[in-house]
Structure 1
Amino acid sequence: MSGPSHVKDVLIESRQQLVEYLSSGARERDDWRIGTEHEKFGFRVDDLRPPTFDGERGIEALLKGLVQFGWTPVEEHGRVIALTRDDASVSLEPAGQLELSGAPLATLHETCREASTHLREVRAVAEPMGLGFLGMGFQPKWRRDEMPWMPKGRYRIMREYMPKVGTLGLDMMTRTCTVQVNLDVGSEADMVKKFRVSLALQPVATALFADSPFTEGQPNGFLSYRSHIWTDTDNDRSGLLDFVFEDGFGYERYVDYLLDVPMYFIYREGEASGQNYIDASGQSFRDYMAGKLPARPGQLPTLQDWADHTTTAFPEVRLKKYLEMRGADAGPWNRICALPAFWTGLLYDDTALDAAWDLVKDFSLAEIHALRDGVPRQALKLPFRGGTVLDLARRAVQISAHGLARRARLNGNGSDESIFLGPLMELVEAGETPAERKLALFHGVWGGNIDPVFREFAY
């Protein structure tokens, strides 16, 4: 989840300013970048419990330890809750899941080196503390009430609001991890095409990366339980966006959608109350623009408020000044690199984008919803048009590989970026998800005990 935005603090006087804020992210092709984010569960090696925020083995101590690598601490009420370095950040999800929000980089070779460097730094600090980290989509062992809470004002507001709008929101906050990629657009028309392709294919990514089959130490009946969590988190701000496929879709229509997403908070530094996050949960940004927000009567929003609000919508694909792909479970190192490779290959090469559009352009909304609803349980084996999602996945990975080859961004050994699709190519060849492989281990050599997952799949 994002922290407070840092944009020019200008009062919003018209809806057009909101449209211009989103459209201002369009870039020339040579300036397109790749921003990769990934989350991971921390655990204490001796008892496998998630670390608390406080204490010698706590998350804050870990963050302070990472400062030696040139990170700058970010504090909230005197506590270190994040780090920044250049254009990247390390932050905390509600239960202490550690997130790297990577810098916008030109190639997948760079973004994969960034992830490797981050994991190496984390291990250097965590191992002496007796901590490890695991990449999966859902916490495989511990109950919700056994998860710690981080002292961030944004999460306090969300924690109180989530049970009012769904049954699984607190699980989303405390027990899920994802990997996502942020990609640029060149124009409004380019944004629309990329949005439609990526939204239609997001269930395929969910299936490929499905890795959350356990809840509280037992199989939960899903292959991506993390994806299922989103179906009952908060339907006012999550799920598929049918209007993206309607004629006339563009920045203005997305602004109208965001204006109807209920607010969470307003962020103001130096509030007399001592709370930088002001609770506006369930209130209307439209009312805010009219000076009628109950949380701030008579006041108008700023562009910072709008930028913050754009981070509180959680659809399968999210538009800010760029597009965010949000459908995948977290996983091991090589799948951190595979997720941005998959989408970069599909969206950053015109021939690949056209081929991907040809693949999905005649999907009906009913079919897209059926894919979204079915892949959490069945993943690649979900029936689709006389075949399965595996057939779609195989074709999508092939299109992506060709797109990356045409990009021809080579490393020092002369290899193009398609090398990062290796795990997905192996997966579609075998027709078996990471979740299914873990289930086979659980029912086999693990003898029905989930604990070995922390040892065998830790970073």
Structure 2
Amino acid sequence: MNYKSQINTYVTYFENAESKKECHKIGVEFEHLILNADLTALSYFEKMGIEELLEELAKNNAWEEIYEGEHLVGLNSEHKAVTLEPGGQLELSIIPFSDLKQIEKIYLDFIDELKSILNKWDKKIAVLGYQPASKIKDIPLLPKKRYDFMYKYFKDKGKYAHNMMKGTASVQMSIDYINEKDYIKKMRVGYFLSPLIYYLFDNTPFFEGKKAANASIREDIWTKCDQQRSGTINGIFNKEFGYSDYAAYLLNTEPIIRKKDNELIYTGNKTLKNVMENDNPEEIDHFLSMVFPDVRTKKYIEIRAADALPYPYNFSFVALLKNIFYNQENLDYLYQLSLNYNQEDFLNFNNKMINDKKNNQRSKLIAEILKRAKNNASKSELKYLNKFEKTYLKYGPLKFKTLANLEKGKEKALEWCFLN
């Protein structure tokens, strides 16, 4: 395919994903760390490990088992899917719904399934941004060819690329867009909010077994992962960044892996424009999944800056963003604010929002965003927002709730992050 055809393929893909405002929904992916009693990571291979956990879950006939070779690596059902991240982090993806109550029910029912197994095994369901005790070198890589290729590729990239793969956990939210104009606005606001999300939803009190009291570890990891595919997309604040711009970003990034006839092929340092041969939908979906910026485009816009959060704070995060992105007045307000920044200005803003210990601009902006979200929220959504606001006003970023109680010991301090 020539470059123009490649661009048009992605532009058409994004156009086909447009939806009417009244049809807009929310998709959420929740990642969890499964830990031993001593807070070390439960590995995929050990007895009563991650693979055996999937096998136990699969005894509920509602699940379809997904294998890679002889290894069970995922589960699918009508409304949800379980996948595994490279270090064995367990991710629950729930299909999009318009109502958070539906997502909450599916999520809590799944957690009950997990608890019924893990409580008998004396294992913990921990919801944190990073492993609290294990070091990366001690966590085996999951047996998936995709992850083998990624691990190989990232060996020569950023300092924390392997930490990203095996140590991190997050909650990610997806939102719909009406047309390209709406897409441009939501992408820009998504990036404008990213430093505040990194700051507010920082739930990484420990990094490589040590106390992490400084600014967001998650942001530091992604910044030092692979500059071309993570963090802030270059140039997004210098213009109206539309469908063709995101397509160009993709095509000039190295995809690491391509799919051909259901086989994964390592592409190394070749860019996508030199790899992409056709408009096969499965391959297009795959390439979209191989970049990891703070705000990503697939058939939706995905907000990716938050650490994994324990219930109900994970729903506080979703309720906050829902009442920003799906309220036109709130979206327009933040979009107008974002227009005050070009790329260089935004990078300075990003650094100050995350790293300054005291920042009046940040405090005022957080207060305004929370107020606007609460004014638009339903009664059930307000419950989530009030819970988060109370904790934030007492501790600041969420990880400080753990660190404030560290004199009681690590396990006791982390109790609020254990779901069982």
Return the match for 2:49 from 45, 55, 58: 58
Query: Structure 2, unaligned stretches of length 5 or more?
Result: none
Distance 2:228 2:120 in 1: 44
Return the match for 1:280 from 255, 267, 277: 267
Distance 2:237 2:116 in 1: 47
Give the alignment of 1:37-436 within 5 angstroms.
37-45=29-37, 47-69=38-60, 70-268=62-260, 276-289=263-276, 300=278, 302-378=280-356, 381-383=357-359, 387-405=360-378, 415-430=379-394, 432-436=396-400
Q: Secondary structure at the match of 1:102?
A: strand
Counterpart code for 2:248? D
Distance 1:352 1:220 in 2: 33
- C-alpha displacement at 1:268, in angstroms? 4.2
**What TM-score, normalized to structure 1?**
0.85
Preserved contact between residue 41 and residue 177 of structure 1 (Cα < 8 Å): yes
Cα deviation code 1:19-70 (max 9, x no counterpart): 101221110112111101111111112x332222124311111111112441
Distance 1:81 1:60 in 2: 7
Distance 1:245 1:121 in 2: 44
Distance 1:113 1:102 in 2: 11
RMSD: 2.1
- C-alpha displacement at 1:163, in angstroms? 1.9
Preserved contact between residue 196 and residue 354 of structure 2 (Cα < 8 Å): no
Look up the match of 1:18.
Answer: 10
- C-alpha displacement at 1:370, in angstroms? 2.5
Counterpart code for 1:18? Y
Preserved contact between residue 171 and residue 314 of structure 2 (Cα < 8 Å): yes
Cα deviation code 1:58-110 (max 9, x no counterpart): 11111111124412111111211011111421110101000011111111121
Runs of 4+ in 1 over 6 A off after TM superposition: none
Distance 1:263 1:181 in 2: 23
Preserved contact between residue 94 and residue 173 of structure 1 (Cα < 8 Å): yes
Preserved contact between residue 14 and residue 243 of structure 2 (Cα < 8 Å): yes
Distance 2:259 2:192 in 1: 34
- C-alpha displacement at 1:17, in angstroms? 1.7
- C-alpha displacement at 1:339, in angstroms? 1.4
Preserved contact between residue 7 and residue 248 of structure 2 (Cα < 8 Å): no
65-74 or 86-95, which moves further after superposition? 65-74
Counterpart code for 1:307? D
Pick closer, same or farther for the CA change 1:431–1:368 going to 2, 3 Å: farther
Pick closer, same or farther for the CA change 1:249–1:217 going to 2, 3 Å: closer
Aligned residues with identical type, % of pairs: 25
Distance 1:361 1:423 in 2: 31
Counterpart code for 2:323? G
Look up the match of 2:412.
Answer: 452
Q: Secondary structure at the match of 2:404?
A: helix
Count of residue correspondences: 415
- C-alpha displacement at 1:13, in angstroms? 5.5
Distance 1:254 1:332 in 2: 32
Preserved contact between residue 356 and residue 399 of structure 1 (Cα < 8 Å): no
Preserved contact between residue 197 and residue 357 of structure 1 (Cα < 8 Å): yes
Q: Secondary structure at the match of 2:73?
A: strand
